[in-house]
Chain A
Amino acid sequence: TQLLEQSPQFLSIQEGENLTVYCNSSSVFSSLQWYRQEPGEGPVLLVTVVTGGEVKKLKRLTFQFGDARKDSSLHITAAQPGDTGLYLCASKEYGNKLVFGAGTILRVKS
């Protein structure tokens, strides 16, 4: 089973600041997904990256997939309190099961 490491574990910032969270693995991802989970809810898919070097943008969120497909980052510009949540990266293994990292808890203070 692939091991996904996310960093940092916790991040507390002021509204308007920028931030980056990371997801790394010792082995190659076939694809990587980023989810956001709010308290009391299930994870919601933000993006799937497949190609090494790929960059995807979703409003103020920018997702990058490393050239070697072993790492990924999520950058948020001008964070807002509504961005608060648990950010999870996940990789799909054979048989369709998702393997998740432990997540980064983000808190954006107004």
Chain B
Amino acid sequence: NAGVMQNPRHLVRRRGQEARLRCSPMKGHSHVYWYRQLPEEGLKFMVYLQKENIIDESGMPKERFSAEFPKEGPSILRIQQVVRGDSAAYFCASSPPERGASETQYFGPGTRLLVL
């Protein structure tokens, strides 16, 4: 059973370009979470999605960032007009449908974004 897959693993962008990060959850998982790990900082929650719905985006910057989890295909985290401060490791996690209790989140290997 394949784990959470993220691609690309490394992404280099110049300031002003767009970055698209993809996440394929584990088989049978319908919940996806995105976290960001800035240099010298811990992991910070960004957004929680279920198929075709954004459940909680309280950790997302108000501008330039968006996320989706379509009915078919991977979840996408999109960063428009990237700036150097967006350089970080972006992790996706997935969990199965809840069964009355919180489910474990399984993390992917991350995408390292470098903005030049």
Interface residues of A (CB under 8 A from B): 31, 35, 40-45, 48, 88, 90, 92, 95-103
Contact = CB atoms under 8 A, between A and B. Distances in A.
Given A42-B91, A92-B102, A95-B55, A100 B42 contact: yes
Interface residues of B, number: 27
B110 A42 contact: yes
B42 A43 contact: no
B45 A99 contact: yes
A48 B104 contact: yes
Contacts of A42: 4, 91, 93, 107-110
A96 B48 contact: yes
Which DSSP category, helix, strand, loop or mixed, fits chain B's interface?
strand
Contacts of B109: 40-42
Interface centre among A42, A44, A96, A100 (most CB of B within 10 A): A42
Interface of B: 4, 31, 33, 35, 41-45, 48, 55-56, 58-59, 91, 93, 95, 98, 102, 104-110, 112
List the 8 closest A-B pairs by CB distance, nearest first: A42-B107, A97-B45, A100-B43, A102-B42, A100-B42, A95-B56, A43-B107, A42-B109
Contacts of B43: 43, 88, 90, 98, 100
A100 B98 CA distance: 21
Contacts of B45: 97-99
Contact of B42 (A31, A97, A101): A101
Contacts of B91: 42-43
Contact of B33 (A44, A48, A97): A97
